[in-house]
Amino acid sequence: MNVYDSARMADVLAPHGFAPVDAPDDADMVILNTCHIREKAAEKVYSELGRIRQIRERRAADGRKTVIAVAGCVAQAEGEEMRARAPFVDIVLGPQTYHRLPEMVARAARAGGVVATDFPVEAKFDELPEASAPQGPSAFLTVQEGCDKFCTFCVVPYTRGAEFSRPAAQIVAEAKKLVAQGSAEITLLGQNVNAYRGPAPDGGTWGLARLIRALAEIRGLARIRYTTSHPRDMDEALIEAHADVPALMPFLHLPVQSGSDRILTAMNRGHGAADYRALVESLRRARPDLALSSDFIVGFPGETEADFAATLALVRDVGYAQAYSFKYSPRPGTPASLAEDQVPDAVKTERLHRLQAELWDQQRRFNESKVGSVMPVLLDKPGRRPGQLLGRSPWLQAVHLDAPAHDMGRIVEARIGAATVSSLAGRALVREDAAA
């Protein structure tokens, strides 16, 4: 989402004479877009700010000004505190105020520091200009922001605010524009994307499934994905969409966090491990080739060896194509950070290693299962060497292909010849092969 937000900040600044540059030394303004989800985020921002300050001083010696802005959830969480600790920062702006960036730049030039961390009543998306810069073959599109779930470990409900869904017509219009600009794949974004409930063109409300069906009608939009989902918001309509919308890719990021009911309750996730297993089963009934990804937290307060064993058991039962796993990191202001039974770091580290060994093994096996098969690959990046392009499989695997440069941006049929834990390799079929 920060990638998408950064692009929108560039869009909002473009009419005011700003354009992205490659090197910070050339920048009249530097925006650090930050994430607060896990520990040390604020520390990283302050050390990066130290480097940017040096650049500013170098530029000042040549008589050039540099505006420094910090955006994103660290800015939201730190607020005034950031200007107290780093007074050379001109603008501190939270994720709900990006549309006011040009006005802040003007205000900072006139009056010095600006801090904007409110949640304005006007909807940011109504104020932002239309997205203008093309995103390439694979694009992001935010459909929903914020979260009302209040998992006890998580800062998102505090930094991103309450759940908000963009009007469906606005999303469809943005998607059409992205496709017209050459995007063949769109990933719908939201902190809680499957909780999407947006005002619909017919005056009613659309859920995510209905929105996906509307987007699937856009000619040229070959692939639709969405992330990140909460198991509790995975409704029948969405499961059905996986069965019968061909553009909806057979890969789903569905975080479970833990396999222990006791821990899931303490996390306030609102479901148990059996509910999640049952959900995965119905999804796989709907789309037998569906591959799953998840997020896991190890060492949540009170997690015992038995709780952790339940997580490992769930991982083995479900079988993941890919997953992210983290040590629990106490976040200021969240209920879990106040729990007395914090797990020692050494225990967290040891459990993380065991979990990651299992997850990597599953990921490698999943990748190897594709060797010898033919699959469509969306080519969206230059390859490691000439004659090669990098793309994505339907299951979001990175695929290195021997393919001519003019295939960039296209979906080509490819035969997979090799797999590693992190990627596939193969060659694009020439049309005769493909027809055979």
CA–CA separation, 158 vs 147, rounded Å? 9
CA–CA separation, 190 vs 147, rounded Å? 9
Question: Which of these segments, 73-81, 122-130, 145-153, 284-292, binds ligand SF4 (CB under 6 A)?
Answer: 145-153
Residue 192: name its binding partner from ligand 5AD, ligand SF4, none (Cβ under 5 to 8 Å by kind): ligand SF4
**Closer to ligand SF4 by Cβ: residue 257 or 393:** 257
* 154 part of the interface to ligand 5AD, by CB under 6 A: yes
* 147 part of the interface to ligand SF4, by CB under 6 A: yes
- Residue list 241-260, contact with ligand 5AD (CB under 6 A): 255, 257
CA–CA separation, 184 vs 408, rounded Å? 11
Please identify which residue in 52, 108, 154, 292 interacts with ligand SF4, judged by CB under 6 A: 154
* Closest by CA position to 294, among listed 265, 266, 264, 326: 326
How many other CB atoms are there within 10 angstroms of residue 111's CB atom? 8
Please report how close the Cβ of residue 155 comes to ligand SF4 at its closest, in angstroms. Answer: 7
Question: Which of these segments, 62-70, 131-139, 153-161, 169-177, binds ligand SF4 (CB under 6 A)?
Answer: 153-161
Please report how close the Cβ of residue 46 comes to ligand 5AD at its closest, in angstroms. Answer: 20
Please report how close the Cβ of residue 122 comes to ligand SF4 at its closest, in angstroms. Answer: 24
When computed from its CA atoms, the radius of gyration of the chain, rounded to whole angstroms, is 23
Question: Which of these segments, 22-30, 78-86, 236-244, 328-336, binds ligand 5AD (CB under 6 A)?
Answer: 328-336
CA–CA separation, 333 vs 155, rounded Å? 8
Which runs of consecutive H residues, i.e. helices, occur in 62-181? Answer: 73-78, 80-85, 101-111, 124-127, 156-159, 168-180
Angle (deg, nearest 10), helices 2-13 and 101-111: 70
Residue 54, H or E segment: helix 41-61
Please report how close the Cβ of residue 3 comes to ligand 5AD at its closest, in angstroms. Answer: 15
Phi, psi of 29 (to 5 degrees): -140, 135
Question: Which of these segments, 10-18, 63-71, 143-151, 219-227, binds ligand SF4 (CB under 6 A)?
Answer: 143-151
**Closer to ligand 5AD by Cβ: residue 37 or 128:** 37
* 8 part of the interface to ligand 5AD, by CB under 6 A: no
Please report how close the Cβ of residue 89 comes to ligand SF4 at its closest, in angstroms. Answer: 27
* 326 part of the interface to ligand 5AD, by CB under 6 A: yes
**Closer to ligand SF4 by Cβ: residue 154 or 411:** 154
Please identify which residue in 83, 230, 370, 392 interacts with ligand SF4, judged by CB under 6 A: 230
CA–CA separation, 301 vs 313, rounded Å? 20
Task: Answer whether 429's CB lies under 8 Å from 414's CB.
Answer: yes
CA–CA separation, 338 vs 330, rounded Å? 8
Phi, psi of 388 (to 5 degrees): -125, 145
CA–CA separation, 222 vs 219, rounded Å? 8
**Closer to ligand SF4 by Cβ: residue 31 or 147:** 147
The residues facing 31 across adjacent strands are 69
- Site residues (CB under 6 A) for ligand 5AD? 37-38, 153-154, 255, 257, 295, 297, 326, 328-329, 331
- Site residues (CB under 6 A) for ligand SF4? 147, 149-151, 154, 156-157, 191-192, 230
